[in-house]
Chains A and B, each alone.
Chain A
Amino acid sequence: MAFAGHLVMVVALAVCLYGIGAALYGARRGRRDWVDSGRRSVYCLAVVLTLAMVILEVAFVRNDFSYTAVAMTSSTTTPLLYRVAAMWSSQEGSLLLWVWLLSIWSSAAIFLTRNRLRDVVPYATSVLLGFGAFFTTLLVFLDSPFGQLSQVPAEGAGLDPLLRNPSMLIHPPMLYSGYTFFSIPFAFAVGALIVRRIDADWIRVTRRFALASWLFLGIGILLGARWSYYELGWGGYWGWDPVENAALMPWLISTAFLHSVMIQEKRGMLKIWNASLVLGASTLAIVGTFLVRSGVLDSIHAFTGGGLGGPFVGLIAVMVAGSVYLVVTRRDVLRSEHSLDSLVSREAVFLLNNIVLVGLCFVIFWGTFFPLISQAVTGTTAHVGPPWFDRYTVPLALVLVLLSGIGPIIAWRRATLANARRNLALPLVAAGAMAVAAYTVVPIGSSVPTVILFCCAMFVLASIGQEFWRGTRARRAISSEAPPLALFSMVRRNRRRYGGYIVHTGIAILFIGVAASSTFQHEKELSLQVGQSARVGAYTMRYVKPTARVVDDPSHTGATLSLGAVLRVTRGGHYVATLRPAADYYPTQPIFGGQVVADLISGDAVQQVALKSSLRRDLWAAIKPLGTTLPATGVAVPEEALVARADASILTSTPQLKQLQYAYEELAAIADAYRRNPPPAGFTLISSPLVMWIWLGGLIVLLGGLIAIWPPPAALRGRIRARYFARVAQELGRA
């Protein structure tokens, strides 16, 4: 079947090349049938790549270790759900996922625009298939997911235990969906610039796809942060890692675009800026993909053994050069139709927001690529860490949060200072009240930026609350509906506006969580014996008893041995929670002779974090059972002496066929010994406030994004259209 997979990929490449040619030929010759054939190529690509995905997934599910990708990233002991996800833990599998998602989203875009932008679509089709051709070329010639091993191993290496987390099942597809969705606004921007048509219809199409990419990428980033918090054992959710930054940069630029495109839509301004933002966001998405795969920067999230850097640099160069050429040569059609009426207007706030967002992106870009820049300039590789990023991003983030509160309460075109003052009164009072409250509760000297952020966030929440209140009141004045119904109708009738406000609310809540958890976190790393306690902030955590389980880890990740602890958490003598952190041990493959029990547990060890989450505070614990290094493997395992003795006994007295069975029995005995006579264990204990607000804020952002992207029902559109048509028709009669 692997060879069939190869052929399917070749067919995919041929479909891309044909589609590019057909669409371009159709566009140049005005032949609709060729353009349609090019469009169908996109659909065909989706079908062909779906088949490739199915072939590879079947190999993973069936543990077909003749495939290199399966043997390197899966095993019989990997649970089924994680075997399915193991496909995208390999370089080649993740590339296939990338291009498959591209084909699916491109098909949706091309289908939805089949009867509009007819001069733009052929070029957009070619660009999308161009991306498809690039990735299928990599998969056919450089890094095939259907590569085979000459000798089929009995067992695979297994999925990296760090990736055996539910977040990782959906994090990569979401992130890649975000990245691939960016290709669509990019393709339509290129098409529109080629045919010199940046009109209202183009904005309508591009904005919706840009919003979809923003939404998917945002979910992907948040899931990645959650994975880091739950799985990596350091208690943080954001480490300014190059790969994390790579996802954040296009997200920031598309946030800027989603705001500034409204100015173009309403005033015909900022066309060059908007075209540049669309082209830039997509290029940054490819830069992110390049960072993950090239190995040029050290990252925990990057694929090792890159080698795809060259082709990606080529693609990025083509995208940058092409974008600059198109914007420069089309500057006549990108000229602004109006200028800013007033500095006190929503346009002005959006402009400032754009400058801050692009500034943030620049800072992150500089910090991310600093190792390469310093290498090129000085010859030595220097890194910048979280303190450097915090120094520059925190002030910009403060301004951004504040602007997200000012924007909604300022009118378009011209807002009088008197009105602005009236609308600002309540949010300013709320921010002031927050400042007073923070001053009495928080040791303000050590956390000024955090307190300022709390005040800004309160300002945002009050301004959005005021907007909802006033909007509902206005709606009730027209319709006499009950308040909840009036609120619902108001949001339903103006999804973009109120969806956007909900997003701002989510962002404010998310930032409160980030600021509180990073400033007021208590953390302790220490070693405890059973019965000993540690004080973490206001909490006391007592090591009550050890736990040990064989082939039955509580997280169902396929660990052979799970050693943990039961911690009792109290506050002021009162019981708060019981935490059960564990360290999971996995087998090493292929099993080599001489160390049967050791082989079962000397793969990667992963800390399974114990968490008691609430709106007020997270109590977080990770355990590292203190063991010694196993000489043969260099891996630290617990109870080394017991393991060595068991292995010696098995190898000298047990027939080879029964060795594995006895090894598990010996492992159970070792686990029992650990329970009865536990050695001290290392613990990381954290008490962190308001972490849940980050995830809640993210969910609110998602809800707001979905409301904003959802098209209004046709009947409602019709009614609104009829009403405004009647009003404008009156005007027409008078003219």
Chain B
Amino acid sequence: MTAALAALLVVALVIFVGWALSGPFRARTRERPQQSDERRALESAKEAKYSEIRDNETDYRTGKLSDADFRALDRQLRAEAVEILRAIDELEALSEAAPR
């Protein structure tokens, strides 16, 4: 009885694994439209830059930066963020212009 159950278990497992992994051997699945890796990397860079701007603000509000230093750094960080936003816009423009 136990041996039969064990055999059944292993056979069921092999069938399950075979079914789960056989995707490439069955009909090709349609690619889902997804954000490109480049776009995602830029989004992550944007998030990181925003977080840096916020950290800079927190540093200023908690007395770690002088007014002048804060203003200079904030300007610099926002300029860097602008560059990232421009890169994202350029990427979007390119993907819209690309033939479908």
Contact = CB atoms under 8 A, between A and B. Distances in A.
Contact of B14 (A11, A467, A477): A11
A474 B63 CA distance: 10
Contacts of B65: 411, 415-416, 419
A724 B85 contact: no
Contacts of B28: 33
A36 B29 CA distance: 10
Contact of B44 (A36, A47, A200, A474): A200
Interface in A1-50: 1, 3-4, 7-8, 11, 15, 18-19, 22, 26, 31-34, 36-37, 40-41, 43-44, 47-48
Is chain B's interface secondary structure helix, strand, loop, or mixed overall? helix
Given A4-B7, A200-B48, A11 B63 contact: no
A33 B6 contact: no
B64 A419 contact: yes
Contacts of B61: 470-471, 474, 477
Nearest to B69: A414
A154 interface: no
Given A4-B6, A115-B34, A412-B55, A728 B78 contact: yes
A203 B41 CA distance: 10
Interface of A: 1, 3-4, 7-8, 11, 15, 18-19, 22, 26, 31-34, 36-37, 40-41, 43-44, 47-48, 51, 115-119, 197, 199-204, 265-266, 409-416, 418-419, 422-423, 467, 470-471, 474, 477, 494, 497, 720-721, 724-725, 727-729, 731-732, 735
Contacts of B22: 37
B66 A419 contact: yes
Contact of A732 (B44, B45, B55, B82): B82
Nearest to A468: B62
Interface in B29-67: 29, 31, 34-35, 37, 40-41, 43-45, 47-48, 50, 52-56, 58-59, 61-66
Contact of B54 (A43, A115, A494): A494
Contacts of A721: 47, 50
A724 B35 contact: no
Given A1-B6, A4-B9, A416-B66, A116 B58 contact: no
16 contacts: A4-B6, A4-B7, A44-B16, A116-B40, A203-B48, A204-B48, A411-B65, A411-B69, A414-B73, A423-B63, A477-B61, A724-B81, A725-B50, A728-B81, A731-B78, A731-B81
A31 B63 contact: no
A475 to B, nearest CB: 8
Given A414-B69, A416-B69, 7 more contacts: A7-B10, A44-B21, A118-B37, A200-B48, A204-B47, A419-B64, A471-B58
B71 to A, nearest CB: 12
A546 B62 CA distance: 61
Contact of B62 (A19, A36, A48, A470): A470
Contacts of B73: 413-414
A415 B70 CA distance: 10
A201 B40 contact: yes
A45 B73 CA distance: 49
A11 B18 CA distance: 10
Given A11-B14, A494-B54, A731-B82, A40 B20 contact: yes
A477 B58 CA distance: 12
Residue of A3, A409, A411, A413 ringed by the most chain B CB atoms within 10 A: A411
A470 B59 CA distance: 10
A254 B78 CA distance: 31
Contact of A204 (B13, B44, B66): B44
B24 interface: yes
A115 B35 contact: yes
Contacts of A18: 21
Contact of A40 (B21, B58, B81): B21
B23 interface: yes
Contacts of B37: 116-119, 197, 201
Contacts of A41: 21
Contacts of A117: 37, 40
B17 interface: yes
B32 to A, nearest CB: 9
A266 B52 contact: yes
Interface string B78-100: 11011001100000000000000
A18 B24 CA distance: 12
Contacts of B62: 467, 470-471, 474
A281 B11 CA distance: 40
B21 A22 contact: yes
A735 B17 CA distance: 57
Contacts of A732: 82, 85-86
A31 B20 contact: no
B49 to A, nearest CB: 8
Given A40-B23, A200-B41, A48 B55 contact: no
Given A51-B13, A118-B37, A731 B20 contact: no
A37 B31 CA distance: 14
Given A201-B41, A415-B64, A37 B81 contact: no
A15 B21 CA distance: 9
B66 A15 contact: no
A51 to B, nearest CB: 6
B75 to A, nearest CB: 8
A47 B78 contact: no
Contacts of B82: 728, 731-732, 735
Most chain A CB within a 10 A radius of its CB, from B22, B85, B86: B85
A199 B44 contact: yes
A37 B21 CA distance: 5
B61 to A, nearest CB: 4
Contacts of A119: 37
Contact of A418 (B7, B34, B45, B66): B66
A343 to B, nearest CB: 15
A318 B21 CA distance: 28
A189 B35 CA distance: 22
A265 B64 contact: no
Contacts of B29: 32-33, 36
A14 to B, nearest CB: 8
Contact of B9 (A51, A416, A470, A497): A51
A474 B58 contact: yes
A337 to B, nearest CB: 11
